[in-house]
Each structure stands twice: as structure tokens, then as C-alpha cells.
Amino acid sequence: MKTESAEGGTLETWTVDEVAEALDRREIVLIDVRTPPEYMVDHIEGALLMPLPFFAPSALPTQAGKRLVFHCGSGARSGKAAHQALKAGIDPVAHLEGGMGAWKKAGRPHIAIDMATGAPKRVDGSGD
């Protein structure tokens, strides 16, 4: 994990492996800041959706026992969301380095649309 001082707080940048392990241990709340259509096509199971254009730090869950980790498609929008959260006094916060693209490239499981049926399905990531 990389850390930096930003907006008067601490911004952490987590790797795919760090996020996956923390999700498995239920230590984080993962917030997807992509658009609803992006989330519908594929997302990390358990991630909550709060699109960046409507991002409201005041509506985020508390960090009582769990770190907030943001993610997007590549890491750019999640970094913006993290900075907004820090400006709102939520500290520390983290975001996923490389976003959903890095998650899928690493072969991590996720939920995707089955193009044949339009239904969501679990993808193990290895054949993606």
C-alpha cells in the first residue's frame, strides 16, 4: 500500500491483492464510483455504487471498523472521489490502483452480464 498526505489527511493506494484480501476479511467497504451502466456490465461483488457525478461524502457509510476504499475503471475517478472524501473530513481513505481494469487483468472474480441472457453471472476472472 502506498500512502500520501492529501487534503489534510491520508490517501492510501491499494493493490488488487490488498483489496481482495481485505474484502475477503470484511475489513473494507468498497465504493464503485463508475456510472450505473458501467456497474451493470461488470462490478466487484459486494461493491456499493456511488457514481462520481453524484458523489456525496456526507452519504458515505461511517468507517466504524471498516476502511472506505473507492474504485473506478482505471483509478482516476476513484482518486477524485478519495480527495473529495478527504476534503469532507473523512480520513483516511483509500482507492484501488488501476481500478476495475487491474482487477480483471489480475484474474479476480467479479459479476458481469451474460450477454446471451442479460442476467448477471459470477465470473471467476481466469477466462475473462
For residue 74, give the CATH number of its domain: 3.40.250.10
Residue pair 73/90 in contact by the 8 Å Cβ criterion: no
Residue 127 located in a structural domain: no
22 pLDDT higher than 60: yes
Q: How many domains would you assign to the chain?
A: 1
The grid coordinates listed for 24 are 475477503
Residue 27 located in a structural domain: yes
Q: CA angle, corner 67, sides to 74 and 58, nearest 5?
A: 85
Range of the domain at 26: 2-120
Residue 86 located in a structural domain: yes
Question: pLDDT per residue over 69-126, tens digit each?
Answer: 999 999 999 999 999 999 999 999 999 999 999 999 999 999 999 999 999 999 997 6
Residue 23 located in a structural domain: yes
Residue 128 located in a structural domain: no
Would you mind telling me the total number of residues written for the chain in this entry? 128
Q: What are phi and psi of 122, to 5 degrees?
A: -80, 135
pTM to 2 decimals?
0.92
68 pLDDT higher than 80: yes
CA-CA distance, 113 to 76, in Å (whole number)?
24
Residue 15 located in a structural domain: yes
Residue 48 located in a structural domain: yes
The model's confidence at residue 5, banded by pLDDT at 50, 70 and 90, is: confident
Residue 49 located in a structural domain: yes
